Chains A and B, each alone.
Chain A
Amino acid sequence: MLKISADKLNSLFDAISAKQTLYITVDNEKGSAEYKKYESGMTLSKSLNTVRSAKDFFFPQTENLADFKVEGKNIEVIDVREESEDFVVFGVRACDARSFTILDKVFLSEPVDSYYKNRREHSTIITMACTKPAETCFCTAFGMDPTVPEGDVAVFSDGENYFFLERTEKGKKFIASISDMLEDGDTAKLNEVQEKARNIMKKLPLANLSTKSFGGERLMKHFNSEKWAELSESCLGCGTCTFVCPTCQCYDIRDFNTGHGIKRFRCWDSCMYSDFTKMAHGNSRNSQLERFRQRFMHKLVYFPANNNGEFGCVGCGRCLSKCPVSMNIVKVMKALEDKE
């Protein structure tokens, strides 16, 4: 397989970023990882995953949709869309790569979200195989193999080298564009690393988490479960779980009066919020119980009902580590699953 030795990784980054914008995962001063625009000298993160997910690249927290210029009775609509630049994201984990497939189902089905599509089409996703999953990881429950992630190109590390595997046409072109920096490498050590990682996957505390109790056909059973009261009791309705989640996709559209016109923008919204989907008659979900239920029903029941059984969670574990009261999808699944 084509590879580059670890000490040359930065020169590869330099070469990629000379041609297009490159984002890599880096560790900040507090020891957590984030995506940053690559600048010479930055080093690739050693953490497993970023706190904010990679969905930001396609579905940013805020974005302007259109401007309206108002003069007397005339309203001029100004299209603010611009062709996105080509960009490369390096270091995406399997869970986040799969989240793009889920977001695609929402944003790329008719009517296509042209804002999302624009960025999606201009991106090249380079994923990174996981070798040291955390105790909170459960991507395997959703059928992923984190040792062979999706994306345009998958990258594997054996500690000394980075190996490159094309996964799509786009990925093939990308590898061709950097092929002068790559050389053929022996994968014996890599195979060992992969084997080890697969064994760890089997030993993860959540390795046996099962989705078999969930899916579209379980709608009424779960919707009417008495467990929601207890599960949602401590929820603060903050929305942290939705904002760190790579697959949470809800947004609000608002108009901002600039004084001489209107800026129409969208921003992330959360089903955990009191004004979520507020309509003329008021709110459709008045209690935190209903809001809490919505989030988990969406991932485990409604989404699969509308998408051929595919779940709306990728098991990244972010909501497990970031909820201020440690309530999360795993606790919900364990409480609701069929008891033999």
Chain B
Amino acid sequence: MQEAMIKRAKELLADGTVNRVIGWKKGEFFYDATPAVFRTAEELDRQFIFDDFTQANVSKYLVKESRKDGKILAFLKPCDTYSFNQLVKEHRIIRENVYVVGVPGGPKLDIEKIKAKGITGVLSVKNENYTLKIETLYGTEEMPFYEAISGKCESCKSKKHVAYDELIGEDGEVLESNRFDMVEKLENMTAEERFNFWQNELSKCIRCNACRNVCPACTCENCVFDNPKSGVDNKAPADSFEEKMFHIIRAFHVAGRCTDCGECSRVCPQNIPLHLLNRKFIKDINSLYGEYQAGADTTTKAPLNDYNTDDCEPSIVHERGVE
């Protein structure tokens, strides 16, 4: 796949369709690729990679990149195309300035999951019939491929590209995913159990802002939490209320716009399952306003930005009860 992508990128650079390419650049190790913009065929040959570890969603960079001179080629995985569409819909990405090449998605692997097994000093990983052979400084280790799959790929919602100018490889289908299973479990807890669950998770937050800054739905030029003039700016949680406040406000702000791309949970250094907050909103929107997938298209009105006479009434809160 990597070769085909480099080849196509070079062609599109050469024929003038685009003047830049956004993708992933080789890292120091085999697992730490960095999103990067490539300008020449030589750069592509030397540094471009696309493999089991290129998890990052590059669509958010297009907010800035699509405002620069010339067209940029963006390689997008199926999940990334949802973020892309959503940003086009919100007039954050200028569609004409991007040439989208859809590329196959995962399952991608997550080095953190390999390390969480106690495997350290990792030097290389090979997938042999769905068993990972891991070379380390301390000898060879093995683990099942599926146990190293990135969290966001574990509950993949779609293998279909919802935006592209051309595709490399086959397109897939929208999938039946298990993504609401854990949300249901949380719903079935007592209010106290649920509170304790979130208290335990969110108390680990160091407010590093990785989740917010990576999020394609968080593209405000100046976030209220960073703006001293907002009156609610807040750099570090001083107590357990503030620990939750940041996340609850963020979840509300991305409600109906979060495509469930999984980036927030992927980047959290404390492994907080932030996606569960967002999925609760998605699940509720589905049940209260009808099935809706943010980013599936660029035209339909989002349920929370629309009004229908059969919309649920605020009394729903009371009906559902709080125990």
Contacts and interface: CB of A to CB of B under 8 A. Distances in A.
A203 B236 contact: no
Contact of A240 (B28, B208, B235, B236): B208
A286 to B, nearest CB: 13
A326 B137 contact: no
Given A62-B236, A244-B269, A325-B35, A275 B228 contact: yes
Contacts of A327: 34
Interface stretch (A1-9, A86-94, A264-272): A264-272
- Among A62, A135, A203, A269, the most chain B Cβ lie within 10 Å of the Cβ of A135
Nearest to A134: B120
Contacts of A267: 235-236, 238
Contacts of B137: 133, 135, 200, 203-204
Chain B contact residues: helix, strand, loop or mixed: loop
Contacts of A331: 27-28, 34
Contact of B226 (A47, A233, A274): A274
B205 to A, nearest CB: 10
A72 interface: no
Contact of B33 (A206, A237, A278, A326): A326
Interface string A319-340: 0111011111011001000000
A283 B138 CA distance: 48
A157 to B, nearest CB: 16
Contact of B121 (A135, A244, A265, A328): A135
Contacts, number: 123
Chain A contact residues: helix, strand, loop or mixed: loop
Contacts of A62: 236-238
Nearest to A46: B118
B23 to A, nearest CB: 11
A30 B118 CA distance: 11
Given A240-B269, A265-B238, A61 B206 contact: yes
A256 B56 CA distance: 38
A325 B23 CA distance: 12
A234 B61 contact: yes
A331 B35 CA distance: 14
Interface in A218-268: 230, 233-234, 236-240, 243-244, 252, 256, 265, 267-268
B207 interface: yes
B236 A132 contact: no
A31 interface: yes
B161 interface: no
**Nearest 8 interchain pairs by C-beta:** A31-B116, A324-B267, A267-B236, A326-B32, A238-B213, A236-B213, A240-B208, A322-B269
Given A31-B117, A238-B210, 20 more contacts: A32-B270, A51-B270, A61-B236, A62-B237, A234-B61, A238-B208, A239-B208, A244-B208, A265-B238, A268-B236, A269-B235, A273-B226, A274-B226, A275-B233, A278-B228, A320-B28, A321-B115, A325-B34, A325-B56, A331-B27
